[in-house]
Structure 1
Amino acid sequence: MSTVADKLARKSTSKTNAKQVRLRLVYIDFWSAVKLSFLAAVALAVVTVVSYFLIYMVISATGLVGKADELFRSFTDGSVTLSQFVGLPQVMAFAAVVAILNLVVITVMGAVIAGIYNLAVKVTGGLLVGFTSN
C-alpha cells in the first residue's frame, strides 16, 4: 500500500502543469499547539454547556423529572425530593465544572502531544507531506 507522498513522487517523473512539493514536518511549535488546543477546548466547552442546557430542557419539558421525583419520593419518606438536586442551576453548575475540566485537560493534552511529536521526530525524521497546486 503506497502513501500519497509516494504517489506524488512517482508522478513527479511525468510532465505535469501542476507544481508538486514534498515537505517533511519536523517540528511543531509548542505555543502554537497550546493555543490551537485551547481554542478547540473553548469550542468544546461551549458545546458542552449548550448541550447540557438543551438536554435538561427536553427532559424537564417531557415531565421526566417529575416522574423520577415521584419514584424517588416512594423510596424515601418524602422529606427529600429529587428536584432539589436536579434543577437548572445545579445542572448548569455541573456543566460549567465539566467544561472547565475539559478545557484544562484538552489544552494540556495538546501541549503534551506536540512535545511527544517533537521528541519522536528526532528518531523517525518527521512526517512526509505532499502538496500540489492545480
Structure 2
Amino acid sequence: MSTVADKLAKKSSSRTSAKQVRLRLVYVDFWSAVKLSFLAAVALAVVTIVTFFLVYMIVLTTGLIAKGNEFFQSFTDGATSLTDFAGLPQVMAFAAVVAILNLVVVTVLGAVIAGIYNLAVKVTGGLLVGFTSN
C-alpha cells in the first residue's frame, strides 16, 4: 500500500539538477523606477496619516492634551487654548502636508537613485545576480 506521504517522500528524494544562471543588472529603467518609488511613497503616505491619527487619539485618550492645555492656560491666563493649535483638524492637516512632502521626496529619490545606478554601471559593469531553476 502506497500512501500520499510515501509518494511525496519518494518525489522529494529524487532531485533534478538545478540549472544556474548568472546575469548582470546593467540598466534600471528610469520610468519604472519612478513608478515603483511613487507607489512606495503612496503607501508611506497612507501609513503616515494613519499613524498621526492613532498617535493623536492615544494622546487624547490618555489625557495628555488636557494636562498640556491646563499648563498652557496657566501661562496665558486662559486667553488661548492649546486645543486651538493642536486639535484634530490641525493635526490631520499637518499629517497631510508631511505625507505630500514625503510623496514628492521619495518619488524624486527613486528617480535619482535609478539615474545614479545607471551612471555607476558604466564604471563598475553592473551587479552580478545569480538565478537557479527548481
Q: How far is 1:133 from its partner?
A: 1.5
Q: Which residue of 1 aligns with 2:60?
A: 60
Q: Distance in 2 between matches of 1:116 and 1:26?
A: 12
- Report the Cα offset of residue 35 of structure 1: 0.1
Per the alignment, residue 47 of structure 1 pairs with 47
Deviation at 1:73, TM superposition (A): 0.8
Deviations 1:81-123 (A, max 9, x none): 1010110000000000000000000000000000000000000
Are 1:130 and 2:114 matched, yes or no? no
Rounded Cα–Cα distance in structure 2 between residues aligned with 1:75 and 1:133: 71
Tell me how far apart the structure 1 counterparts of residues 74 and 133 of structure 2 sit (CA, whole Å): 70
1:76 Cα deviation after fit: 1.5
* Alignment-derived partner of residue 93 in structure 1: 93
Runs in 1 of length 4+ with deviation above 2 angstroms?
none
Q: Which amino acid aligns with 1:60?
A: L
For residues 126 and 98 of structure 2, the distance between their equivalents in structure 1, rounded to whole angstroms, comes to: 35
State the identity %: 80
Q: Give me the TM-score of the superposition, normalised by structure 1.
A: 0.87
Match of 1:116 in 2: 116
The CA RMSD over aligned residues, in Å, is 0.8
Aligned residues: 119
Matched residue of 1:28: which SS? Answer: coil
**Residue 102 of structure 2: aligned partner:** 102
Q: Which ranges in structure 1 are unaligned for 5 or more consecutive residues? A: 1-15
Q: Partners of 2:97 and 2:115 in 1: how far apart?
A: 27
The one-letter amino acid paired with 2:122 is: K
Aligned residue for 1:96, secondary structure, equals helix
Asked which structure has the greater CA Rg, the reply is 2
Q: What letter matches 1:110 in structure 2?
A: G
**Deviations 1:11-65, CA, capped at 9 Å, x for gaps:** xxxxx70010000000000000000000000000000000000000111011110
